[in-house]
Amino acid sequence: MKKLLLLIVALSFAGCAMQQRKYYWRVKDVVFERGPVLDLYKPDRQLVLTVSTKTIQEMMLAHLRINRTAGIQSELYIVDGDEPNAFAGKINNGQRVIGINLGMMRLIGGDVDEYAALIGHEAAHWAKGHVDAGQARTSTLNALGTVVGVGLSAAGVPAAGLISGLGVDLIDSSYNRVQERDADAASVDYSLANKYDPRWAITLHEKFLGIDRGLRLPFLSSHPSGEERIESLRSLIASKNAAR
């Protein structure tokens, strides 16, 4: 098993009583890894996730296809964090980012159709202008980060070395029901246009219902889920399939 320390962004959040660090792995830097699996490590060599190379490649392909269909440009990142979450945010040069955290990766596993539904939903928030609108009405976490490329040169991965002073904005948006319905509808369209099965969006939300209700999941605070949302998705998918 090849062990690879991936591209990491360490964030020290401003305004917090204690410094928190989050680590980011940029998917396009590791998508061509030839081994059967990728091991994701923190700088202290703590193993946080083992994922199949095929899953990473399928995620990246879904992201590229959906970007094209949505008419947007964004980078895909895997993000530190144990409670399932995904988000749309910006780095300070204006680059759009879609992030999927470790907890969400574990929840989804290797199902490309679920990744397509999730990526499509976040891409739709960009395409529909929801994230940009949210910046004016929600709090933003401002941070200075450091990109650490330890071990990447030897592995032949681009962007090895140290880049300091990279500003990062993560937008903590709470989307309203209209925006969520719009994003769901667009995500179904993106999945159908790229030969993914949109019904797996329902499966993903059913997984959320199975999670301990005592947990406060960041994803559910900004992307409400539940039986009503699932029924809405079923009706939406049925109507779009009937119209084809």
Architecture of domain 8-242: 2-Layer Sandwich (3.30)
Q: Which residues of the chain have pLDDT under 50?
A: 1-20, 136-170
Q: What is the pLDDT of residue 48?
A: 85
| Domain range list for the chain | 8-242
- Of 97, 87, 124, nearest to 198 by C-alpha is 124
Structure tokens at 45: 């060599």
The overall pTM is greater than 0.85: no
- Residue with token string 């995620």: 59
The pLDDT of residue 225: 63
Residues contacting residue 69 through CB under 8 Å, at least 6 positions apart: 189, 190, 193, 194
Outline where DSSP puts E strands in the chain: 8-13, 24-26, 37-41, 47-52, 75-79, 86-91, 96-101, 140-148, 162-171
- The pLDDT, as a whole number, for residue 219 is 57
